[in-house]
Structure 1
């Protein structure tokens, strides 16, 4: 890796669904041509959170706040998201795993537990397989072993088509397929439109396009078999985007699989259920 320089700044950005700016205590680390933004919350044993495609801290719902009551929680924007700026080159799992490792080094979080959601689960597997000295355990939520699986490929190609032609429709599709019908109905049309409007203000469209291009070529089937740390795989019972999460548990030796009652965007609907499963696993209840 290149030499890294850390810089802490206080920045302003808009959270989805909110009209005003939100002040965030972001820090930055330079790695391999990227200026990667990250944030540190709480104190205690370290956990690093790795987002899915197009996601920001806001998409973890109450998870960051709850985990940081007893732990140091580090969240980051890898290339294509949030406040991170890079050279615009194609993304790879190795490149994003290097960014997570650089953030861990800069924040002093090591060894650490690693939670990855969707594409972030693939990044987490990449790092867990190649840096077993750093990663204490993995929690993989709504992950997928192979992005070229037929249904996923059709999904990701549709995302790209809509992103290039109708971005509002792209975001509507993400919400409609990422959340359960009951949750969408509970939110109502006005709240859904507010979420879309809010996200439009912060979206890095060029970066999201590169992240989806990476989704299409993800293949962690071989890497998964190299993971040796304790691993919890969490599938979402009503996931309309990823339907192959359970295969990760099959591929990872000794892993445990749990299902929560949520759609793909798990933390909006079932944060409490996720946190209960995660806390039990992290405290050693792995049977």
Structure 2
């Protein structure tokens, strides 16, 4: 595990595999562990870089309010630290916002960008209310965890897992201060003015059964990025957990 200081934050990141650099950026939640099911598959043909940005369990900082600029600066620092030229970026959920913002603001660092199951900011009242309820449940750890799980996965996926696996999943979603900061950022952020400035090749992936950020948000984000391709997967919000093989193939085919 490597670590880089960015302002008041210490951002750890893991590197595995060899080949063209591919950076996987987590959304709101525990952090880089979100990629555990697919990172090794990408590492067969890429140098895979998996950072833990502020708000994740592994990152350390001064606890200040998160902004898109703060997380984008941290991601830029990780990419620069690699010293490997422009990279390919994949970002899930809040990570999709961050990779989009970096592609718009630092085109010299980005060869291609893939935002997954994400959104660009205000406008969807369903999203605003689901995020508000999610934040307000922070005071009840068990309910917060179970609500998080319901937002993260499709009904079909949860039904397929069985009782013990679902209970284990729920335990993994328990809240902490990092979650609060991430949710507060999601309620405030707005990158709509950045999207037309993206010059890198772009593929936006939407999740057809996304209960957290309904798929219309991904479609709208794709429409705002010049020349972006769009693909939709028959899953809930955490695409890479529900359909890992399809997810990896989509991205490999696009980057090839």
Select which of 240, 245, 255 maps to 1:272.
Answer: 245
Determine whether 1:213 maps to 2:184.
Answer: yes
Is the contact between residue 61 and residue 268 of structure 1 (CA under 8 Å) also seen in structure 2?
Answer: no
- Deviation of residue 106 (structure 1)? 1.9
- Deviation of residue 110 (structure 1)? 2.6
Partner of 1:68: 43
- Deviation of residue 55 (structure 1)? 3.7
Partner of 2:77: 102
Partner of 2:162: 188
- Deviation of residue 108 (structure 1)? 2.7
Count residues in correspondence.
Answer: 254
Is the contact between residue 51 and residue 118 of structure 1 (CA under 8 Å) also seen in structure 2?
Answer: yes
Is the contact between residue 115 and residue 141 of structure 1 (CA under 8 Å) also seen in structure 2?
Answer: yes
Partner of 1:93: 68
Select which of 230, 237, 241 maps to 1:257.
Answer: 230
Is the contact between residue 46 and residue 72 of structure 1 (CA under 8 Å) also seen in structure 2?
Answer: yes
Structure 2 length as normaliser, TM-score?
Answer: 0.95
Is the contact between residue 57 and residue 178 of structure 2 (CA under 8 Å) also seen in structure 1?
Answer: no
RMSD, aligned CA? 1.3
| In structure 2, C-alpha distance between the alignment counterparts of 1:254 and 1:146, rounded to whole Å | 20
Q: Higher Cα Rg: structure 1 or 2? A: 1
Structure 1 length as normaliser, TM-score?
Answer: 0.85
The secondary structure found in structure 2 opposite 1:133 is helix
Is the contact between residue 128 and residue 135 of structure 1 (CA under 8 Å) also seen in structure 2?
Answer: yes
| In structure 1, C-alpha distance between the alignment counterparts of 2:30 and 2:88, rounded to whole Å | 20
CA deviation digits over 1:11-61, x for unaligned, max 9? xxxxxxxxxxxxxxx211001110111110111100111111114333224
Structure that is richer in helix per residue = 2
Q: What runs of 5+ residues in structure 2 fail to find an aligned partner?
A: none
Is the contact between residue 145 and residue 171 of structure 2 (CA under 8 Å) also seen in structure 1?
Answer: no
Partner of 2:141: 167
| In structure 2, C-alpha distance between the alignment counterparts of 1:197 and 1:252, rounded to whole Å | 37
Is the contact between residue 148 and residue 217 of structure 1 (CA under 8 Å) also seen in structure 2?
Answer: no
Is the contact between residue 156 and residue 216 of structure 1 (CA under 8 Å) also seen in structure 2?
Answer: yes
Distance 1:196 1:282, change over 3 A: same
The secondary structure found in structure 2 opposite 1:214 is helix
**After alignment, is 245-254 or 165-174 more displaced?**
165-174
Partner of 2:15: 40
CA deviation digits over 1:205-248, x for unaligned, max 9? 11111111100111111101110111000001111111211001
Distance 1:37 1:147, change over 3 A: farther
Is the contact between residue 80 and residue 207 of structure 1 (CA under 8 Å) also seen in structure 2?
Answer: yes
Is the contact between residue 121 and residue 141 of structure 1 (CA under 8 Å) also seen in structure 2?
Answer: yes
**After alignment, is 102-111 or 186-195 more displaced?**
102-111
| In structure 1, C-alpha distance between the alignment counterparts of 2:172 and 2:71, rounded to whole Å | 26
